[in-house]
Structure 1
Amino acid sequence: MPAESRHSTPFTTSPQIAVMAVGEEREPVIVIDRATGWLDRLRDAAAAAGAAFAAADTIGSHYPGLLAPAPVAYLDGLVRFALPLIAAHFGTGAVMPARARGNFSLVTLPGEALSAEQRVPHVDAADRMQFAAVHYLSDSPDGTGFFRHRATGYETIDPDRLPAYRAALDAELAALPAGGYMDEDDARFVRTAAVAAKPDRLILYRAALLHSGLISRLPRDAADPRAGRLTGNLFLQCRTVAA
């Protein structure tokens, strides 16, 4: 990674920030260690959520597990932390939030239970002004990988690219062999970069960047926030600030 930089934060620690340029498109992926200093607080909040965790597919998400609301103060802090990083590193200039949502997440689906869509990399939105953050809150080393689609050569998907990408991917999904979580290259995708999970590490990237969780195995108590692969997730739609 390039040399670390320092950045003001609404949280209670001094973060270490590094910027990766990923793949042939050289898309930024920002990696922040010691991101919040809130690790114990957030683990406690997730554990207290208990029955609020619900299967993602019941609320229209393809996430392979459970989702629960995260504290508003935490999500607000993530937004305020992310905005100047986006302005500095993604070529947008100054930005302000248009819409934000976030949650706690737990991976609970075993590989053999995944749908075809869940067994390939994905984008969160085909929108270059939407950004995603993953905040690793557990001790699991299972991080996040970034990918290039072989047939199209795309690493990011925007509205112009979406029709060709979707047509190629649909054909591939129809012939997808049995398998589990994506973690390495295969006949359809090349892994361009990977970030290991680490407690209180946060990564920030465009939601349009092809990515996948690198899930090596599920713990026995995968649905327990204190034992499973717990993350905080933010999806932030931005708009530029008028000069």
Structure 2
Amino acid sequence: MKVAVHEIGRSRSRVIVIDDFFPDAPALVEAAAALAPFPEETGTAYPGLRRQIGPTDAASRYVLQALQALSPVIRDAFNAAYFAVTEASFSLVTTAAQDLRGVQRIPHIDSDDPSLIAILHHLHDIPGSGTAFYRHTASGLERPDPAAPGDLRRRLEAEGARIDAADTGFVGSDNDAFEQIFFAEARFNRIMLYQGCLMHSGVIPPDFTFSADPRRGRLTGNIFVQIVPEAQA
């Protein structure tokens, strides 16, 4: 594994990028294809399909192997005494730009909680795609303020409503509401770790095909873990 630690934005929040992560990544694509077709995601604003990985799925071994390999990285990068898995899935972006809702056209946060760590595993090689992180221009926020954790989420809801009325597509590098502060290009078998409270968005290129086929689409493995910081252990 090739591990790179990036401290991004004014908050100096850590984003970990690891290349050549999984020993047999092509087999993961086949494991995901065996679970297709994926259902539409309805529990979050994710613009596409998501298949939860349950304990009886063959792919559950992948989750265990991934976390075993990432355990020292999670401990070191996020000062974690220990952690627990909260969710694992395979996902595919399939919603075309003209069909997006306002909330899907802006960056988002996964949680107000800085102890929720997102693990994103790219299992595709689509040029121009990736994950970007942002600062909200009006407030200067890149993540929720601990003193008022709900403020950023309320601001994002307002921006989503405004942008929905403007009928725009996926968020780009910058616009009048958000400034991009970091971008990690997607590469096959690249994995990223970051706090779910960081404002971020998938970057979708203009010529994207929105395929629902795990062998052809923007397939990702998505794992969330809840850490207990050393200071609280």
TM norm structure 2: 0.89
Shift of 1:168: 2.9
Q: Does 2:196 match 1:210?
A: no
| 2:212 aligns with one of 206, 213, 223 | 223
Counterpart for residue 184 of structure 1: 173
Relative to structure 1, the CA distance from residue 100 to residue 82 in structure 2 (aligned partners, 3 Å threshold; closer, same or farther) is farther
Shift of 1:129: 0.6
Which consecutive residues of structure 2, in runs of 5 or more, have no partner in the other structure? 54-58
CA distance in 1, matches of 2:123, 2:185: 12
Relative to structure 1, the CA distance from residue 218 to residue 224 in structure 2 (aligned partners, 3 Å threshold; closer, same or farther) is farther
Q: Name the SS of the counterpart of 2:88 in structure 1.
A: strand
Alpha-carbon RMSD across the aligned residues, in angstroms, is 1.8
* % identical aligned pairs: 37
Shift of 1:47: 0.9
Query: What amino acid sits opposite 1:83 in the alignment?
Result: S
> Does the aligned pair in 1 maintain the 2:106–2:159 contact within 8 Å?
no
| 2:120 aligns with one of 115, 134, 144 | 134
CA distance in 1, matches of 2:10, 2:229: 26
Counterpart for residue 69 of structure 2: 81
| 1:143 aligns with one of 112, 130, 134 | 130
Matches within 5 A, 1:2-81: 15-51=1-37, 53-57=38-42, 60-70=43-53, 71-81=59-69
| 1:154 aligns with one of 135, 141, 161 | 141
CA distance in 2, matches of 1:54, 1:160: 38
| 1:163 aligns with one of 150, 175, 187 | 150
CA distance in 1, matches of 2:96, 2:210: 12
Query: What amino acid sits opposite 1:240 in the alignment?
Result: P
CA distance in 1, matches of 2:115, 2:176: 30
> Does the aligned pair in 1 maintain the 2:108–2:156 contact within 8 Å?
no
Query: What amino acid sits opposite 1:24 in the alignment?
Result: R
Shift of 1:133: 1.0
Counterpart for residue 100 of structure 2: 114
Relative to structure 1, the CA distance from residue 99 to residue 135 in structure 2 (aligned partners, 3 Å threshold; closer, same or farther) is closer
Q: Alpha-carbon deviations, 1:141-162, whole Å to 9, x = none?
A: 3100000011211111255333
Shift of 1:219: 4.4
CA distance in 1, matches of 2:214, 2:205: 18
Aligned residue-pair number:
224
CA distance in 1, matches of 2:44, 2:156: 19
Q: Name the SS of the counterpart of 2:109 in structure 1.
A: coil
Query: What amino acid sits opposite 2:150 in the alignment?
Result: P
Q: Alpha-carbon deviations, 1:77-101, whole Å to 9, x = none?
A: 22223332122122x2x42223421
CA distance in 1, matches of 2:210, 2:140: 39
Structure of higher RCO (CA pairs closer than 8 Å, 6+ residues apart): 2
Counterpart for residue 159 of structure 2: 172
Shift of 1:49: 0.8
TM norm structure 1: 0.86
Which consecutive residues of structure 1, in runs of 5 or more, have no partner in the other structure? 1-14
